[in-house]
């Protein structure tokens, strides 16, 4: 009978531990290969979804190596691959980084140097660099035609072959526009803004100077500060000039009074209203106020509307006599402004009145 060989317990324990180790050594590479394939497939799908072409996609574990052909933006590839879940790092080979598009070019300068053209009653002034003596002479010739007998040429032009004005035409157009009128006026260009200042005789000249300035420096901002002369006041006719004096004289000589408690222009007062209408007709631009008043026999509350009715009655009579209603204001003041004592009958008669006074002359 064969003899059983007894193995130590430790041998069996070592064998039991070795089995998992061997299984891990076999399975881990298989799992790693599966992970890399999955990352590669998902990365390719993400790139294709963006329309990005690649030469190859390789993974070492979770680290990607992407090769792209010329013309493909590596930054765009990196952005897509980095967004794939599970990718740890990305290395890009090949591709072409796009050149940044140039920023908008600054606006071209006008090429016109700073200048000033001005006129006074005594002189025409030109201050500007010009490119040649020929341009300087051309400007002088234009000025000479505009000087007349009372002005002289204040020539402040200088010759600058590099940066001066190449043509006299812009200055000549401004000179012709500014020559119209009297007083001071100028056009000044400081390299950014064309400023028009001074006085011109009318709106047409103002517009002509503005157009010439805009044409002289194309694209520049034009600050139009030109002023038009204040129109003279129309001449005042003699009747209007003396209207206020004559109306005051009428008020001293003629009275418009009322019977107690009434607002009717009675027969005694109608001639005064006729005289007032004649004065008003002598100056058709004058406006007047008819002010109605009362004595103190009634209460203040009842006196005010009575005075208003008296003023309205006189206005109506003046309108009937041919005076434009728009020239007449009618207001009542009750018993607030007596011109005589209400303690006597004569005083109360004087206070029951209507007065006509100037609101606006000529």
Residue 99: its pLDDT value, please? 63
Residue 83: its pLDDT value, please? 76
Angle among Cα 132, 134, 137 to the nearest 5 degrees reads 115
Cα 64 to Cα 27, 70, 87, 88, distances in angstroms: 22, 19, 7, 8
| C-alpha to C-alpha distance for 244 and 361, rounded to whole angstroms | 7
Tally DSSP H helices, then E strands, for the chain: 10, 15
| C-alpha to C-alpha distance for 331 and 304, rounded to whole angstroms | 10
Superfamily (CATH) of domain 238-360: OmpA-like domain (3.30.1330.60)
Contact 272, 314 (CB under 8 A): no
What does the chain come to in residues?
362
Domain 115-227 has CATH 3.40.1520.20: yes
Residue 255: its pLDDT value, please? 95
Residue 317: in which H helix or E strand, if any? helix 300-320
Tokens of residue 349, six digits: 């008669």
According to CATH, the topology of domain 9-94 is GMP Synthetase; Chain A, domain 3 (3.30.300)
Residue 8: its pLDDT value, please? 55
CATH 3.40.1520.20 in the chain: give the residue spans. 115-227
Residue 27: its pLDDT value, please? 46
- Mean per-residue pLDDT pooled into runs of 10, the chain (362 residues): 50 54 49 72 77 78 83 80 81 73 48 85 88 89 80 89 84 79 82 86 81 81 84 71 91 94 95 95 92 93 94 96 94 92 95 89 46
Q: How far is CA 298 from the centre of its chain?
A: 61
| C-alpha to C-alpha distance for 289 and 281, rounded to whole angstroms | 15
Residue 4: its pLDDT value, please? 46
Residue 88: its pLDDT value, please? 82
Residue 28: its pLDDT value, please? 46
Residue 17: its pLDDT value, please? 57
CATH 3.30.1330.60 in the chain: give the residue spans. 238-360
- Which residues, in sequence order, are CB contacts of 261 under 8 Å at separation 6+? 297, 298, 306
Residue 38: its pLDDT value, please? 84
């Amino acid at each position: 009978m064969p003899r059983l060989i007894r193995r130590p317990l430790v041998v069996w324990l070592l064998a039991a531990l070795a089995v998992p180790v061997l299984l891990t050594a076999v399975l881990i590479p298989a799992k790693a290969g599966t992970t890399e394939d999955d990352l590669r497939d998902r990365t390719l799908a993400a790139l294709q979804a963006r329309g990005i072409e690649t030469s190859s996609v390789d993974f070492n574990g979770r680290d990607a190596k992407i090769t792209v052909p010329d013309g493909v933006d590596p930054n765009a590839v990196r952005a897509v691959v980095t967004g794939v879940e599970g990718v740890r790092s990305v290395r890009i080979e090949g591709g072409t980084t796009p050149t940044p598009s140039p920023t908008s070019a600054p606006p071209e300068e006008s090429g016109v140097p700073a200048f000033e053209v001005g006129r006074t009653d005594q002189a025409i002034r030109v201050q500007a660099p010009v490119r040649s003596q020929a341009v300087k002479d051309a400007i002088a010739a234009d000025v000479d035609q505009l000087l007349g007998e009372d002005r002289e040429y204040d020539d402040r032009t200088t010759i600058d072959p590099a940066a001066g004005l190449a043509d006299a035409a812009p200055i000549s157009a401004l000179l012709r526009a500014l020559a119209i009128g009297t007083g001071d006026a100028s056009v000044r260009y400081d390299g950014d803004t064309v400023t028009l200042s001074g006085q011109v005789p009318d709106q047409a000249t103002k517009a002509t100077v503005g157009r010439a300035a805009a044409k002289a420096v194309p694209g520049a901002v034009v600050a139009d500060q030109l002023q038009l002369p204040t129109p003279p006041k129309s001449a005042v006719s003699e009747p209007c000039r003396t209207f206020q004096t004559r109306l005051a004289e009428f008020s001293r000589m003629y009275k418009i009074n009322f019977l107690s408690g009434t607002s009717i222009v009675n027969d005694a007062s109608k001639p005064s209203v006729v005289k007032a209408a004649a004065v008003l007709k002598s100056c058709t631009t004058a406006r007047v106020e008819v002010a109605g008043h009362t004595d103190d026999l009634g209460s203040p509350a009842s006196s005010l509307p009575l005075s208003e009715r008296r003023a309205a009655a006189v206005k109506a009579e003046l309108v009937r006599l041919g005076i434009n209603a728009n020239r007449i204001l009618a207001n009542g003041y009750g018993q607030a402004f007596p011109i005589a004592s209400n303690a006597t009958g004569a005083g109360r008669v004087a206070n029951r009145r209507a007065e006509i006074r100037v609101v606006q002359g000529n």
